[in-house]
Amino acid sequence: MTTIARPRTERGIGASVTRSDAIPKVKGEFAYSSDLHAEEMLWGATVRSPHAHARIVSIDLAPALAIPGVHAALTIDDVPGRRAFGLEHADQPALADGVVRFWGEAVAVVAADDGETARRAAAAISVQYEPLAPLIDPEEAERIGSTFRVIEIVNGDPEAHGSVVVEGYYEVGQQDQAPLGTESGIAIPDDEGGVDLHISTQWLHVDHEQVVATLGLRPEQVRLHMAGIGGAFGSREDLSLQVHLCLLALHTGRPVKMVYDRAESFVGHVHRHPARMWYRHEADRHGRLRRVEARLLLDGGAYASTSSAVLANACYFAVGPYRCDAVEVHGAAARTNNPPAGAMRGFGAVQPCFGYESQMDRLAAALDIDPVDLRLMNALEPGDHLATTGQLIEGSLPTRRVIEALRAMPILDTASDDPRRLPGGTGLTTPAGSVRRGIGFAVSIKNLAFSESFDDYAEARAVLTPDGLEIHTSAAEVGQGLVSVVEQLARTVTGIEAVRMVWVDTSQIGSAGSTSASRQTQMTGGAVVAACEGVLAEALRRGGGDRLDDRGVWRGEEMVATLADLLADGPIEQLERFRHPPTERPDAQGRGNIHAGFAIAAHRAVVDVDPELGLVRVVRVDTAQDVGKAINPAAVIGQIEGGIMQGVGLAVMEEIILDQGVMKNASFTDYLLPTFLDAPDVEAILIEEPDHWGPFGAKGVGEPPTISSTPAVVAAIRAATGRDLTRVPVRPEDIVFPE
Amino acid sequence: MTRFTVNGTEHTADPVGPESLLTTLRDRLGLYGSKNACEQGECGSCSVILDGELVCSCLVMTADTDGSTIVTVEGLADGDTLHRVQQVMVDGSGVQCGFCTPGIVVAAAHLFDSRPDPSEEDIREALAGNICRCTGYGAIVRALEALSGDGQ
């Protein structure tokens, strides 16, 4: 294993440093994209389709334009450049182009003096639709070939079979990312036909590419600036209002602001793919996995978004972190008239984990083996090959250690008579004596950073100033704590304490890549380390010393140059572009070195269930997680607790309900999110085995907490109730009235 | 015209019809600290203290606040000296994206003003109207528990 460098400063890597944006955030002074304003600013609003599928017969803008204070009403005909956008395939019209393909699709946009007038103007636009039959069943879609991607994986020994067989069918409902900050931003036209867009996004540069293309401008005419981000979880990977804001600003010649309300946010971003999954596991009589066959069907909704990559993840991780002699996976991402699905924390690894971990428990029962023993027996380790793609596991993958550490953790007894700790809570519906407790265990694997030969890189610039070190980046700080990670890495590498992360616009630096795939600690972190090493080397060269700190360069105990001295010959700055080890496209049978790295997590859930009312309280979810190296342990724990909460939400309450493609619960009243009273206690063990790339061996930590927490909770409910529970979220009727 | 006091300063506003206090605070007074996450009273991000009561400012009509005294998140700190609730949120890693944070610090400040020694369950119940999507709540509860019964 690599030797980890010791922090040279107290606030370097390994310390739970307080994040530098915390004080403005607790004071209400931090500027989110919804808090921005400009002189002479107009407000935008969007007209959205009331149909899941319809032909647009006509659009009459005149009633809106007749309202005093309305300055613009625009349709697809006002889009000067490419008419469609998309993260991987440009298939989504910037505004509906003759046809609407999902409920809530943007049809027209308006700008007016204030938000209320803009909303009235949007309502005044008269759109005549000819409704068409919506395709809402993903199985029907696959049958007729309406898919974004189909993947077949065949790997291993075709003759391999096991004598113990379990089969199952599982479903995962559609989860919303529900970041607290809705989509919002402001576009400000310059006086030369260009525009500055201030936006909250997960990937500034890919937004820039798409906005430039739709506006038909030169890249340098459009500058995107990162504004404060109120959470993301995948919902800010695709464009929402970026193009609309720029169109309105360029058309009116005035700054335009838009802020989605919560209902609009639900249709304004993609969601986690709902899934239907058929599984067949075969093991020998000792429990060794011999064959896994799976059919995975994801509903991608109306537009491509990231469906092809999400499906790929679902298929590649269809077996989980286990060895297996033979694998056959068929996966499809269906194209329907449901709202588009795309990225959400876990990105395709979440859905199959519910399937394969449910299967592992069934297999353990059929074998009469302890379910944790069964997982240990089959655990994937370095030197093994991923059962699906055949990729050799390099770097660290402490699957056994993660499982064993969690199994060895004592379960803290949190039994309580406080009714707020019982299922049903303050409703006082559940007498303590009728509660049944269950415990469940699950394990997951997730890739780190982008895969399938994508040219994945991050740029960062380190700039030495007389006041300290600045790190320039476009990387999205969505709340995860990248700001601390970057500053800590820079301190450890350079020895300078006064480090400041500075977000610069798209004209001033190259892409940092997306804040997704758990990738920024490794990717932007990797670029920051390299840039800081360059600055350090130049500072030591100019100063003629062997150590740098906030005062200057030192040789032994003697200071030989102040920071100001060093900069007398010009600035010291270093721009670096970091890439992870290259990856490959899959071959015809779905095999290859497709991923850059992996991380493992295990979860153990304790639940209390009122079996009569079907109410569940998740008492605790303990975890062990493979983190490589914890750059900021408190921030890692924050990712773990927050990620587990989203996994618990998917297990027991979070689901978007669709009826004929129409969303029935697009609000925080009807789409339930876990509250302070729903939150389980969490104990976490961080397993630190440095990875083969990434700063100081660190791995991304954001997604793993969300993946196996869901099946662990469901396994615990099964243990408490004896029900099969093949669908998440588990509803009260699934417990009370099983089929 | 509606006259009210916000964080010790008197203001006059001319709200349009049923305009919410949240809209007035943000778009007329430029007090962007109170957040608009659901505007339905479900998430608590817009929490303010209105005449001593904790309310969701998105559910209050500005026209009904004539003569009221309002404290928003901007009114909790004393210059660079944070309110103790804000300080423990900073020190205890209770902040991630921070969008829910203003509402949580206002609700927690109200809780500790009215009840100096809440139990963990009391804290959870008092804040059950504040949704956080990032933290899983654990760090916030631990941070606030440390304040319970500290005598201030």
Tell me the per-residue pLDDT of A90-119, one tens digit each, with 9 for 90 and over.
Answer: 999 999 999 999 999 999 999 999 999 999
Nearest to A479 among B33, B39, B97 (CB): B97
Is the pLDDT at A4 greater than 60, yes or no?
no
Report the run of H or E that residue A123 belongs to, with start and end.
helix A115-124
Those residues with Cβ within 8 angstroms of residue A669's Cβ, 6 or more apart along the chain or in another chain: B40, B42
Instruction: Find the closest chain B residue to A261 by CA distance.
Output: B38
Q: Which site among B93, B122, B123, B142 would you substitute to test the A interface, given the most A Cβ atoms closer than 10 Å to its Cβ?
A: B93
Nearest to B95 among A19, A421, A643 (CB): A19
CB contact under 8 A, B40 and A479: no
Confidence of residue A8 (pLDDT cuts 50, 70, 90): low
Share of chain A above pLDDT 90, in %: 95
Confidence of residue A3 (pLDDT cuts 50, 70, 90): very low
Those residues with Cβ within 8 angstroms of residue A619's Cβ, 6 or more apart along the chain or in another chain: A414, A421, A437, A606, A607, A608, A680, A681
What letter would DSSP give residue A590?
A: S
Instruction: Find the closest chain A residue to B97 by CA distance.
Output: A479
A131, β-bridge pairs? A54
Contacts A18 to B, Cβ<8 Å: 90-91, 93
Amino acid, single-letter form, for residue A409 = M
Report the run of H or E that residue A523 belongs to, with start and end.
helix A520-543
Confidence of residue A738 (pLDDT cuts 50, 70, 90): confident
CB contact under 8 A, B98 and A178: no
Strand order across the beta sheet in which B9-13 lies: B9-13, B2-6, B69-71, B47-50, B53-56
Is the pLDDT at A718 greater than 90, yes or no?
yes
Instruction: Find the closest chain A residue to B123 by CA distance.
Output: A676
Contacts B58 to A, Cβ<8 Å: none
Is the pLDDT at A270 greater than 70, yes or no?
yes
Contacting B residues, span 90-129, partner chain A, CB-CB under 8 Å: 90-91, 93, 95-102, 105, 121, 123-125, 127-129
Nearest to B102 among A28, A418, A638 (CB): A28
Q: Which site among B39, B95, B119, B122 would you substitute to test the A interface, given the most A Cβ atoms closer than 10 Å to its Cβ?
A: B95
Tell me the per-residue pLDDT of A209-237, one tens digit each, with 9 for 90 and over.
Answer: 999 999 999 999 999 999 999 999 999 99
Confidence of residue A421 (pLDDT cuts 50, 70, 90): confident
Contacts A29 to B, Cβ<8 Å: 33, 74
CA A418/CA A461 separation, integer angstroms: 53
Confidence (pLDDT) at A88? 87
Across the range A85-94, mean pLDDT stands at 95
CB atoms within 10 A of CB A424: 17
Confidence (pLDDT) at B151? 53
The alpha-carbon gap from B51 to the nearest alpha carbon of chain A, in Å, equals 20
CB contact under 8 A, B34 and A28: yes
Q: ipTM more than 0.90?
A: yes
Q: Which two tokens stand for residue A679?
A: 């939150």
Nearest to A587 by CA among A201, A138, A190, A154: A154
Nearest to A180 among B93, B124, B131 (CB): B131
CB contact under 8 A, B130 and A676: yes
The alpha-carbon gap from A24 to the nearest alpha carbon of chain B, in Å, equals 9
The alpha-carbon gap from B151 to the nearest alpha carbon of chain A, in Å, equals 22
Tell me the per-residue pLDDT of B54-89, one tens digit each, with 9 for 90 and over.
Answer: 999 999 999 999 999 999 999 999 999 999 999 999
CA A530/CA A524 separation, integer angstroms: 10
Instruction: Find the closest chain B residue to A35 by CA distance.
Output: B32
Contacting B residues, span 1-40, partner chain A, CB-CB under 8 Å: 16, 26-27, 30-40
Confidence (pLDDT) at A5? 38
Confidence of residue A433 (pLDDT cuts 50, 70, 90): confident
CB contact under 8 A, B93 and A231: no
CA A108/CA A482 separation, integer angstroms: 37
Nearest to B128 among A232, A262, A675 (CB): A675
Is the pLDDT at A1 greater than 60, yes or no?
no
Those residues with Cβ within 8 angstroms of residue A414's Cβ, 6 or more apart along the chain or in another chain: A421, A606, A619, A620, A681
CA A441/CA A709 separation, integer angstroms: 8
Across the range A558-573, mean pLDDT stands at 95
CB A197 within 8 A of CB A246: yes
Tell me the per-residue pLDDT of A605-620, one tens digit each, with 9 for 90 and over.
Answer: 999 999 999 999 999 9
Q: Which site among B133, B141, B145 would you substitute to test the A interface, given the most A Cβ atoms closer than 10 Å to its Cβ?
A: B133
For chain A, the distance separating the N- and C-terminal CA atoms, rounded to the nearest angstrom, is 52
- The residue to which tokens 């993947």 are assigned: A151
CB contact under 8 A, A28 and B32: yes
Angle (nearest 5°) at CA A659 between A654 and A663: 55
Is the pLDDT at A72 greater than 90, yes or no?
yes
Cis amide linkage into residue A158, ω under 30° from 0: no
A105, A244, A350, A605, A623 from A174: Cα distances, Å? 18, 27, 12, 22, 25
Contacts B82 to A, Cβ<8 Å: 23, 26-27
Mapped onto helix, strand or coil, the DSSP state of residue A361 is helix
Confidence (pLDDT) at B152? 53
- The residue to which tokens 């209002």 are assigned: A241
CB contact under 8 A, B100 and A180: yes
Q: Which site among B6, B31, B36, B97 would you substitute to test the A interface, given the most A Cβ atoms closer than 10 Å to its Cβ?
A: B97
Report CA torsion sign: A316, A322, A323, A326: negative
CB contact under 8 A, A676 and B91: no
Contacts A21 to B, Cβ<8 Å: 95, 98
CB contact under 8 A, A180 and B16: no
CA A330/CA A318 separation, integer angstroms: 10
Across the range A77-90, mean pLDDT stands at 95
Angle (nearest 5°) at CA A207 between A210 and A650: 120
Q: Which two tokens stand for residue B46?
A: 């817009």
Confidence (pLDDT) at A419? 83
Is the pLDDT at A408 greater than 70, yes or no?
yes
Tell me the per-residue pLDDT of A682-715, one tens digit each, with 9 for 90 and over.
Answer: 999 999 999 999 999 999 999 999 999 999 999 9
Confidence (pLDDT) at A432? 85
Residues of chain B with pLDDT under 50: none
CB contact under 8 A, B99 and A645: no
